[in-house]
Structure 1
Amino acid sequence: MTIYLLRRLFLLGTVLLGLSIFAFSLGYLFPGDPLQNFSGLRYLDDSTREQLTLAYRLDGSYLQQYLAFIQRLWHGDWGLSLASQQPLLTEIRQVLPATLELTSYALLVSFFVGIPLGILAAIKPDGVIGKAISAIAITGYSLPIFWWGLLLIMVFAVGLGWFPSGGRLGVLYEIPPQTGFMLVDILLSDVSYRQAALQDALRHLLLPTLALATFPTTVMIRFVRDAMLDVWEQSYIKTAKAKGLSRLQVLYRHGLRNALLPVIRQIGLQFSTLITLAMLTEVIFSWPGIGRWLIDSIYQRNFPAIQAGLMIISVLVITVNMLTEILHTFFNPLARKR
């Protein structure tokens, strides 16, 4: 296990090294002045340009420039946004919690809904319930998220008026930010309208969470169903049935424990998918997350923000995938043996 962890950490370091080289090269691949792309300053006079050239080692080799780039990242100097002239790291800290909140709730919905439905579909796959769940899963898997999100807004926000069409919280409520997670901040606040603000935040959260959770939920249903059917044909399951155990006992004692082990690995895969789909969801529902911030930066040709956003999202996805892979190996004896 120690050798496996060392190999995984070495792989993580190699991937992050390649990512940092790619991010550094974007300063030269983007149109415009490389010094402006690295610093984010709109206007550079001669003295400022000379100082930044020395600080960024632009008068040296590419290796010296890359080492200076890594040093700036390590010390939190990610440059300024061309649009707002604010530090990029400050803006990322403001928008990243909103994306993590939305993806976390969508991931929880996919697990709490997808796993039971997948198990139910695997119990009698040729029955009416099994076929109905499989049909729903295929339908949800085929829905484009931009069309599905707009349909939810048209029906439940515009048509019925049950939920708001966008945002995280109504303009009537002001919650002091503490963690960046809206529901947590509301619970930690001591305002008099905390209960009403919590209900309003939940109403704002429901539609984007439902839209974002649809695809991973259908994937989880199909994955758990196939895993259960595969485990159900193993010899130890047949032995347990021969001993006289009921179907429910076999399912609980032997089937679930082995079929749900690969679900740990699915956390990383679904998180990667959710981060990608969250960009579209945040634009549709005006959710102030890093996906919407990154797409706005692309429209604004805000090259330093694009560079920083790609680095943050890539590091987040790579780290989560690596951690789930390690957890799966830790809990799965067969994976450790391999």
Structure 2
Amino acid sequence: MLNYFLKRLLGLVPTLLIVAVLVFLFVHMLPGDPARLAAGQDADEQTVELVRQELGLDRPLHEQFVHYFSRMLQGDFGTSIRTRRPVSTEIAERFAPTLLLTITSMAWAVVFGMSIGVMSAVFRNQWPDRLGMTIAVSGISFPAFALGMLLMQVFSVYLGWLPTVGADSWKHYILPSLTLGAAVAAVMARFTRASFVEVIQEDFVRTARAKGVSERVVIAKHCLRNALIPVVTMMGLQFGFLLGGSIVVEAVFNWPGLGRLLVDSVTQRDYPVIQTLVLLFSLEFILINLIVDLLYGFINPTIRYK
């Protein structure tokens, strides 16, 4: 397993290099002049040109990329055009709120999603199954921004129970995490049901029941563990999507996280921040997939890594 882990880590290098090139080209194709935005709309052309030279945007594109990549290898991701602060500082301040929101959303989504999925599989084609799948389809179909505004209207405006903006206390996490985790819980429920239905029809399950093992033990010990491998794969991917795709929810709740930082950076054409955030999201996806692959060995000891 150690050799497999090291080989996968070495595979990060070419992947991140390709992502760095594509992101660099993409952000430089965005419409708008970052020098003009940084100087202000009332600045004259001479001032804008001075800002462009200061930011290094007057150089040829290939020179800009070499300069950016060489600094990145040294751990220097540049300075934000918008705030004039180091990019690493900007991201470090926003990373913790996004990570905690993602973990909170994923935790309740896994608990409720897997519970609904297992219940639907055990009682398939009965009313618990129909009710659970109806809830799951509703969760997938309802847009995140609409759900967020609905929750704010009910629990903040009408009832006054929960705050709407900020990340100062545990109460601030409730509405954003419910909004962010709703679609994940719905996908988890459907995926768990499909995996459970397939496993519950296997021969070893019928054998366990024929031996007189109680249905609770059959479900919890024999079915759950064997059904977890595809579910864990989906959990890893969904966690990556939550960590990098919470832009809409953070915008609705004015959440001080990476998603809101990315929106502000794109608006201001803040090239260093955009490039670093996309590279960070790519690295997160790769590492999460690696962790998921390693978890297979713990869930199913018969799996061997080559």
Q: TM-score range by the shorter chain?
A: 0.7 to 0.9
Superposed, 1:186-225 pairs within 5 Å as: 201-225=169-193
In structure 2, give the amino acid aligned to 1:14.
P
Per the TM alignment, residue 68 of structure 1 is displaced from its structure 2 partner at its CA by: 4.3
- Distance in 2 separating the partners of 1:250 and 1:281: 39
Q: Report what 2:8 is aligned to.
A: 8
Instruction: List aligned pairs for 1:159-170, cutoff 5 A.
Output: 159-169=158-168
Instruction: Please list, as runs of the form range in 1=range in 2, the aligned pairs for 1:123-202 lying within 5 A after superposition.
Output: 123-169=122-168, 201-202=169-170
State the match for 2:207 in structure 1: 239
Corresponding residue number in structure 2 for 1:297: 265
Flag the 1:150–1:108 CA change in 2: closer, same or farther, 3 A: same
Residues in 1 aligned to 2:221 and 2:26: alpha-carbon distance in whole angstroms: 53
Specify the SS of the correspondent of 1:84: coil
Aligned pairs for 1:1-338 (under 5 A) are 1=1, 4-5=4-5, 7-26=7-26, 28-30=28-30, 62=62, 66=65, 68-169=67-168, 201-329=169-297, 331-333=299-301, 335-336=303-304
Residue 273 of structure 1, CA deviation = 2.3
TM-score, structure 2 normalization: 0.85
* Unaligned 5+ runs, structure 2: 40-46
SS at match of 1:321: helix
Q: Aligned to 2:83, what secondary structure does the other structure show?
A: coil
Contact 1:262 1:328 in 2 (8 A): no
Cα RMSD after superposing both structures: 3.0
For 1:20 and 1:3, the matched residues in 2 are separated by: 26
AA aligned opposite 1:299: T
Number of residue equivalences:
297
Instruction: Give CA deviations for 1:51-105 in whole Å, capped at 9, x if unaligned.
Output: x97xx9x68x94x765543331133322222221111111111011111110111
Deviates more, 1:278-287 or 1:315-324: 315-324
Residue 172 of structure 1 corresponds to none
Q: What is the letter of the counterpart of residue 148 of structure 1?
A: L
- TM-score, normalization by structure 1: 0.77
Distance 1:220 1:246 in 2: 26
